[in-house]
Amino acid sequence: MANTFASRMIINVLGIPGILLLVYLGRFYFAIFITLVCLLALREFYLLCRIKGISPQFSVGALACILISLFYYRGLESTILSFSWQNIVILLVLITIVFELFRNKEKGTENIAITLGGILYIPILLGGLIALRQIDLLDYSFGMRLTMSLFITLWVCDSAAYVFGKMWGKKKILERVSPKKTVTGCTAGLVSAILIYLLIWKLGYLESSQSSVSLSILDVLILGIIVGVFGQMGDFIESLIKRDVGVKDSSNFLLGHGGVLDRFDSLIVASPLTYLYLKLSIGSGV
């Protein structure tokens, strides 16, 4: 127990400033980091599904992580060797189903579906973080500020939900999926997410210095709700998968923190939604 606590502390002491530094550096440093996170998280997801007797195609998953991250890095409208994002998705599906023919594994249908489902769940959703960091409205630091705010808000939301839930939480919110989470904890998470976003905004951190873009109070409220509601749902979705498989942590990769998937579960849902919202609200520059 003490050991777990110590290793949790080490991960936090190294992990938090490490991630903030990578967000600050941006460019391919951040993109490569997120690609590695996707590769590790997808591997964990596939290993979890193996417990159910399913044999996903790890190699196709890895190829997809690299290609999709590259698209998020270069822009979703770019091409790779004349192939658009749409074409690559079509090709990945064709490769997966054709490969399965020659694999001689049980549960062929699930093998195909889990291979492809994992690609949609992890690189396609979580890769949204790369797109968010790449947002460039004349001012490359705007993407950095947005990504920084997302990480900080999520961490505060997670911690508030944990502390308030532990201290005052009684009524379970969705016991079937996640037996420990309480209404009090989740509410505290949501309220703190909105408050932190508002604070960051009030401090002027969410204004783009060189362009005319600025977020309204409504934008900031919606970003807070994305983290506070949908980020927490990301957590529930991972719990649903783990409960379905029958394990507690996605792996033991991050000693005491469970696996990579456990650490990035809220971001899997919150990042693409934050990116999509900003794209729709600010428009073409995103």
199 binds its own copies (CB under 8 A): no
If we measure between CA atoms, which residue out of 135, 144, 149, 141 comes closest to residue 220? Answer: 149
- Here's the x/- map for its own copies, 134-173, by CB under 8 A: it reads as ----------------------------------------
Candidates 123-131, 197-205, 215-223, 248-256: pick the segment binding its own copies (CB under 8 A). Answer: 123-131
Distance from C-alpha of 56 to C-alpha of 45, rounded to nearest angstrom: 10
Query: Contact with its own copies (CB under 8 A): which of 46, 151, 236, 264?
Result: 236
Candidates 15-23, 149-157, 254-262, 265-273: pick the segment binding its own copies (CB under 8 A). Answer: 265-273
- Here's the x/- map for its own copies, 41-70, by CB under 8 A: it reads as -------xx--x------------------
Q: Is 79 helix (H, G, I), strand (E, B) or coil?
A: strand
Taking CA atoms, 244 is separated from 236, 238, 241, 268, 278, in Å, by: 12, 10, 5, 19, 34
Distance from C-alpha of 179 to C-alpha of 173, rounded to nearest angstrom: 8
Least Å distance, CB 71 to its own copies, is 8
Q: Which is nearer to its own copies, 22 or 250 (CB)?
A: 250
Distance from C-alpha of 222 to C-alpha of 216, rounded to nearest angstrom: 10
Contact by Cβ (8 Å): 41, 260: yes
Q: Which is nearer to its own copies, 198 or 240 (CB)?
A: 240
Contact by Cβ (8 Å): 211, 137: yes
Q: Which is nearer to its own copies, 146 or 237 (CB)?
A: 237
DSSP code of residue 98 = H
Using CB under 8 A, list all residues that contact its own copies.
Answer: 48-49, 52, 76-77, 82-87, 89-91, 93-94, 97-98, 100-101, 104, 106-110, 112-114, 116-118, 120-121, 124-125, 128, 174, 176-177, 230, 233, 236-237, 240-241, 243-245, 269, 272-273, 276, 279-280
